[in-house]
Amino acid sequence: MSEQKQRILVVIQHTNSACLTNNFPVLTAASQFAEHAGACSIDVLIIGHQVQGVVESLSTVDGISRLLVVDETDFEHWLSDAVATQIAPLAEQYSHLLTAASTTGKDLFPRVAALLDVGQLSDITSVVSYDTVIRPIYAGNALAKVQSSDRIKVITVRESAFDTFTSQGSNCAERVDISPLSMNTYCEFVSQEVTKSERPELGAARVVISGGRGVGSQENFALIEQLADKLGGAIGASRAAVDAGYVSNDMQVGQTGKIVAPDLYIAVGISGAIQHVAGMKESKVIVAINSDPEAPIFDIADYGLVGDLFTILPELLAELD
């Protein structure tokens, strides 16, 4: 492989003003690919508007060679098809292209892979070698070792499977400003509704309390919120709870929602459908509260409470007080 191609590019996800925490496990995965490749540099790509804060937060991270920055008003709001057209030409210079397997990454990277005419390695959980990874299949019930022969490896990284890359040092990565390409897109930004909360972000929280269909209503979710506030945790939900309208879909934990691996996961009124379990089974300690002693959630729980959640949660809240 030529020296030009022995480079890795990480696409940074951000809010324009701040770098999201899910980027740092991706940098860990990138560093592992770099180790297998030998002499291999890591660049990061930041596309957005007024992203100086993001640039500053990454400029001193050891291991990053260059910060490629596209800072234009057109990218104040990400439209995946427009962003993909900016990424694909740059990706031709690299052997690996990585980003977090968030909803943003899952929307963006298939478009990039299609433009590059290569396959995608999705939601990887381990790096085996320069061209081989481990990724879950069958809703996480099996792990596949996949070797890619594509000229460019397009990869999304499951953040919960990698340690956070925290090497802040005296590094001073070079900033390279890049002019945007023409905006070839059939989409336009109309509006955005953002759920604001003082609680930790779901994907990065050390404690997650999730409610399921058994909670019964949107009003009853107040018990979940009270428990989360007392434990300093984030709120999650099963797909059944989201579909029933109890909470918004950005709280969904599961195969088609967010993948979490907190220190403590409390499942309240959740039966343990395979789709939900795929999104939280890597949690360090799992506590299940359910009235059905045969519920599948108890098969993976470290601690189980069989009983009425409307009796157990008030008692637990009183004990915490």
Specify the length of the chain in residues.
Answer: 321
Strands of 96-100's sheet, edge to edge? 120-124, 153-157, 96-100, 7-11, 41-48, 64-71, 174-177
Phi, psi (5° rounding) for residue 42?
Answer: -120, 120
270 annotated as belonging to a binding site for a ligand: yes
Contact 154, 106 (CB under 8 A): no
257 annotated as belonging to a binding site for a ligand: no
199 annotated as belonging to a binding site for a ligand: no
253 annotated as belonging to a binding site for a ligand: yes
238 annotated as belonging to a binding site for a ligand: yes
290 annotated as belonging to a binding site for a ligand: yes
**E strand spans, the chain:** 7-11, 41-48, 64-71, 96-100, 120-124, 126-129, 132-137, 142-147, 153-157, 174-177, 207-211, 234-237, 264-268, 285-290, 303-306
271 annotated as belonging to a binding site for a ligand: yes
275 annotated as belonging to a binding site for a ligand: yes
Rounded Cα distance, 159 and 142, in Å: 18
273 annotated as belonging to a binding site for a ligand: yes
7 annotated as belonging to a binding site for a ligand: no
Burial class (CB in 10 A: 0-12, 13-18, 19+), 132: middle
Q: Quick one: which of 138, 158, 281 has its CA closest to 210?
A: 281
Rounded Cα distance, 292 and 268, in Å: 12
Contact 156, 11 (CB under 8 A): no
86 annotated as belonging to a binding site for a ligand: no
12 annotated as belonging to a binding site for a ligand: no
57 annotated as belonging to a binding site for a ligand: no
274 annotated as belonging to a binding site for a ligand: yes
147 annotated as belonging to a binding site for a ligand: no
Distance of CA 71 to the CA centre of its chain: 23
DSSP 61: B
Contacts of 4 (CB under 8 A, 6+ apart): 93
Task: Name the binding residues for FAD.
Answer: 213, 238-239, 252-256, 269-276, 290
Binding residues: 213, 238-239, 252-256, 269-276, 290
